[in-house]
Structure 1
Amino acid sequence: MIYSAATADDHIIFQRIRSGLGVRFPARSTEIWMNESSVWLKGSAYVTIERYDLQKRWIVSPGKKRYVEVPLTPAPEKKINNDSVAIQRAGWTYAPTYEWTVKETDQEAVIGDQPCMLIVAEGDADYSSESVELWVAKSAPVNAALYNERVTAGAVDFDWQDLLNVFPTLKNRFIMRFVDKRQPPIAPETTYETKITKVETAAPPPMIYEVPDGFQRVNSVQELSN
C-alpha cells in the first residue's frame, strides 16, 4: 500500500519516571509522530502504528521484524485501579472513586522552550488521595486536542476522562509536564512524572506510518517476542 505523509506532522518525545519506596526507577522515553489520520508511537520494545483512515492498528517488533494487526478500537476492558490491586493483596477489596477539584493557579514556568502555567487537580476518596500538577503551555505548539485524544488519554496514570468531566477545557491544553502523586490507603506514596523533552512540527521520516517491507505478520502480541 502507498501512503503519502503530510509535509509537516506533529513530533513529540516525552520522558516518564516512576518513584516510590525511596526508589527512582530509570526514565523511559516515548517518541510520537502524528497527523490527522495516523499515529506512530515508539516505546521501549515495540512501535505502534495507528491508521484512522484505514481503521487499523499495527504493533511492530523492529527487533524480530514481526507485526500484529489489532482492532483500532478494542472492546473496553474493566479498568483495574492500582490502589485496588495493592489492597486486594492484603485481603481487602477497594477501588477508590475520586471526587476531583481542578483549578488554575498563578504559577508560571518555562518548560523546554514553552511558557507554561500550572493547573492543579486534587482527587479525594474515602481511603486514598491523588494530586496531579499539570504544567500546560500557554500556546499549544501542536494540535493539542488531537494529541490528547489519541495519546494523552492512554498515556497518563490518572483518569484523564474524570479530569475532563470537571475541567473540560483541559482537552485543548498541551501538557508539557505533569506530576501525579498517588497515596493508597495501605501502601507508600507513588509518584509518576512525565515531561515533554521535544515538541515540534516537522516532516516525518518517509513511510513511517507503514509496516516496513519484509516484516512477518503474526497472530498475537505474544508472538512478537517469541
Structure 2
Amino acid sequence: EWHGTGTPTGDPIEVGAVGRVFGSKGILIGSVKPNVGHSEGCSGLSSLIKSVLSLEHGIIPPNIKFSKPNPESVLRLTRRTVKFAEHGLVVPTKPIPFPEDRAERISVNSFGIGGTNAHVSMFLFPTLTSHSSQKKVILESYSSAIPEAQAGTCTRPELMLLSANTSASLKAQMTVYQDFVQSNPRVSRSSMAFTLALRREWLPHRAYTIISPDGSVVEASAPSKAPSQAPEVYMVFSGHGAQW
C-alpha cells in the first residue's frame, strides 16, 4: 500500500525504493488515494483501513483510474535506472485474490510533509482452530503469540502484568496467578501474558511477575500505585533534521 500522492518527485522515489527492496520477486502495489483523495493527517489511517479490509476478505482491491505507469516513474539510484517492469511492480486494475505462493501480507507507507515517515506491516493471523472460518488481522509485532498457544508449550520467560483497585487485592491476584501457572503447565503462558497486557483494564495498583518456562517465578515486583495525574507531554517536531 503506497503513500502514492501522484507527484512527479515523490512517486518515482517510492518506486525506486520498493523496487530495490523486492528486486526480481515482484510485488503488487496500490494506493487508496485515487478512491478517497489525500486525507492529509488521516491518509495513513485510510490506507490502514483499506489493508485490514483487504486481508479480512482475502481480496486485493483494484487501483481505480490506472491504465499504465507514469513514463516519468524512473529514478536514478546508485547509477541504475529503476522501472516498473524491471522489478515486477504490478498495479492491479481489478479485484484479485492474494497470490497462493506468497504470504497474505500488506505493508503500508505513509510519509508526512514534515519528515515523519511511518511504515507498518500487516498479515493474516492464523486461526486457533482449523474449522474456524473467521480471519483475524493484527499487527506483526504480536506474531509470536499463536504458535506457542497451538503447541501448548513455553520456551521463554513471560511477563505477566497485573493491576487491581487496592494493594491487598493486587497481592492476592499475584498469588492466584502464580499458583495457577505452576499447577497448570499445559496452559499457554504466552496467551495469558498477551491478554493481561492488552485485553485488561489498567487499574490504579499495579505490579508484574516474570514466569520462567518451567512455571517458577523468576521475579515479582512490589505493588505500586500509578500517579493520579498524567505527566506533562512535550511535542518536538524536528522535521528532517537530527538536531534533537
> TM-score of the superposition, structure 1-length normalised?
0.27
Higher relative contact order (CA 8 A, sep 6+): 1
Higher helix share: 2
Instruction: Identify the structure with the greater strand proportion.
Output: 1
After TM superposition, the score normalised by the length of structure 2 is 0.25
Larger Rg: 2
